[in-house]
Amino acid sequence: MIARKSPKRKKEDVIYKRICDEIDKEAKDNDEWICFFCQLPLGERAEHHHAKGRSGDLFTDKRYIVLGHHDCHTIKWHGEPHSKLVNLWWWKDFKKRLEKRLEQ
């Protein structure tokens, strides 16, 4: 049977969890506990979006991991076609934030 995750990926997952915990703590401590997509306050939990992808070192690169509501991140960003995303009230400002983040 083929393992679902390689030993290397299992190690990366441990690092990723630690990094996400750090991102969450820093955001809460700095009053930045807001959704990267819509800029509204986050609730108890946030999802982590990989703004520049998940391959290689990007999987754990804090510069490109942003916080989001489940609805904004998973339901809309990953679930809706671009033609619907562009009509969301937060789209234009989100695109500006994203472009700025990707320049880092």
Q: pTM for this one?
A: 0.88
Alpha-helix residue ranges (DSSP H) falling in 30-102: 70, 82-85, 91-102
Is the per-residue pLDDT at 3 higher than 80? no
**Res 12: pLDDT:** 87
> What is the percentage of the chain residues whose pLDDT exceeds 90?
79
**CA dist., res. 13 & res. 20, Å (int):** 10
- Mention every residue, 6+ apart, whose C-beta is less than 8 A from residue 9: none
**Res 45: pLDDT:** 92
The C-alpha torsion from 51 through 100 and 63 to 56, rounded to 10°, is 50
Q: For the chain, report the end-to-end CA distance as a whole number of angstroms.
A: 41
